[in-house]
Amino acid sequence: MYMPDIKFWYGPGSCSLVPHVLLHESGLPFTAIEVSISKLETRTDAFSRINPKQRVPVISLDESIITEVPAIATAISHLVPELGLMGKTPIEQVRVMEWLCWLSGELHGQCFGGLFRPERFIDDPNQFEAVQSKARNRIIDCFKTIDSRLSRPFAVGNGLTAVDPYLLVFYRWGSRNRFDMSAQYPAFTAYIQSIAAYPAIVSAMGEDGSTL
């Protein structure tokens, strides 16, 4: 099968960990390009030409640029269909999509978006704290949902899917933002501790410079 040339733009500590793990799991060669979010490298003209939305992750397959975690995960999965990275059976594929939509739209965009980027929700800086406080409560609701729904060792089916590294991203963000992960979410914590030992996750986290 023809394999495209794969380039991957990632930001350490960010949601780009999801495709990073999937690329390692795929075993395919890829070129990783680091983009520092804190140094505002996502806002440069050069990066804006790659992704006008000014966000990571991005992959290119030959000349085709793909953005958005669920779309990128799908693109990688199509290159190695035998691995079932988006689920192996039709119902698993539905469950993976259900998780990805919710994690991307609700937990990432709405909830962590409100906490990290309150300016996206309201112009008045005096209201930022209120937006962030509401976002924290909504994150807690999401974490409770995750804690009550997780199966082990994998979130869906009997193998790694895009859902697993996505859950890891949010667990890490929770730990780093004063959410009491181990005390409040024991099932989520046990799941993360076991999935963190998975080889593709260890490799991607090492390259990303992330720790649990």
Ligand X SMILES: N[C@@H](CCC(=O)N[C@@H](CS)C(=O)NCC(=O)O)C(=O)O
Site for ligand X in 38-67 (CB under 6 A): 42, 54-57
CA dist 112 and 94 (Å) reads 24
By CB under 6 A, is residue 11 in contact with ligand X? yes
Contact by Cβ (8 Å): 81, 109: no
Q: How many residues bind ligand X (CB under 6 A)?
A: 12
By CB under 6 A, is residue 14 in contact with ligand X? yes
3-state SS, residue 6:
strand
For the bound state, the minimum distance from the C-beta of residue 143 to ligand X, rounded and expressed in Å, comes to 17
Q: In this complex, which beta carbon is closest to ligand X, that of residue 48 or of residue 151? A: 48
Contact by Cβ (8 Å): 162, 80: no
For the bound state, the minimum distance from the C-beta of residue 61 to ligand X, rounded and expressed in Å, comes to 16
Determine the longest span between alpha carbons in the chain, in angstroms: 56
For the bound state, the minimum distance from the C-beta of residue 60 to ligand X, rounded and expressed in Å, comes to 14
Residue from 26, 60, 74, 104 in contact with ligand X (CB under 6 A): 104
By CB under 6 A, is residue 20 in contact with ligand X? no
By CB under 6 A, is residue 74 in contact with ligand X? no
By CB under 6 A, is residue 114 in contact with ligand X? no
By CB under 6 A, is residue 69 in contact with ligand X? yes
For the bound state, the minimum distance from the C-beta of residue 36 to ligand X, rounded and expressed in Å, comes to 10
Contact by Cβ (8 Å): 148, 79: no
Phi, psi of 153, deg, nearest 5:
-80, -10
The residue whose two tokens read 């035998």 is 82
Report how far Cα 184 is from the mean position of its chain's Cα atoms: 22
Among 145, 167, 142, 141, CA closest to 154? 167
Q: In this complex, which beta carbon is closest to ligand X, that of residue 88 or of residue 208? A: 208
E-assigned strands of 35-173? Answer: 58-61, 64-67
Q: In this complex, which beta carbon is closest to ligand X, that of residue 3 or of residue 101? A: 101
Phi, psi of 66, deg, nearest 5:
-125, 130
Q: In this complex, which beta carbon is closest to ligand X, that of residue 54 or of residue 145? A: 54
By CB under 6 A, is residue 37 in contact with ligand X? yes
Phi, psi of 31, deg, nearest 5:
-100, 120
Q: In this complex, which beta carbon is closest to ligand X, that of residue 74 or of residue 93? A: 74
Residues that bind ligand X (CB under 6 A): 11, 14-15, 37, 42, 54-57, 68-69, 104
